[in-house]
Homo-oligomer: A and B are copies of this chain.
């Protein structure tokens, strides 16, 4: 069954990538997926915690404590929304933006290495198909 294989392959590739990136992010004290959260915050300044949770599909309580850690370590700041006081908006600090530069480079290298066997056309097609998964 092809459907099975697709998800299983995605799972293995993703777990491998997560392990590799956490390993690499370690020297910046951004292991345990902290790198993942920081990257998204830099690229989407001002998004809320629940926005981020939906974006990367992670448990909100895990995210809450991870973001506290990122804030303690001065990579981000959490700001209570002015008009909507329920949510907290996330912004990178200067330190966060600097670390992002390094993380981005690491991610780029890793991803590029994994994709060498796919042509540009194949990559475009792969992305197109992936975005059709799960509505």
Contact = CB atoms under 8 A, between A and B. Distances in A.
A9 B127 contact: yes
Interface residues of A, number: 46
> Taking chain A's interface residues, is the majority helix, strand, or loop, or is none over half, making it mixed?
helix
A73 interface: no
Give the oligomeric copy count. Answer: 2
Contact of A16 (B1, B57, B132): B57
Interface in A16-61: 16-19, 36, 55-59
A10 B7 contact: no
Contact of A13 (B1, B36, B111, B133): B133
A3 B115 contact: yes
Interface in A100-135: 107-108, 111-112, 114-115, 117-118, 120, 122-127, 129-135
Given A4-B107, A13-B130, 11 more contacts: A4-B108, A6-B126, A7-B114, A11-B56, A13-B57, A13-B134, A15-B57, A19-B57, A118-B132, A126-B133, A129-B129
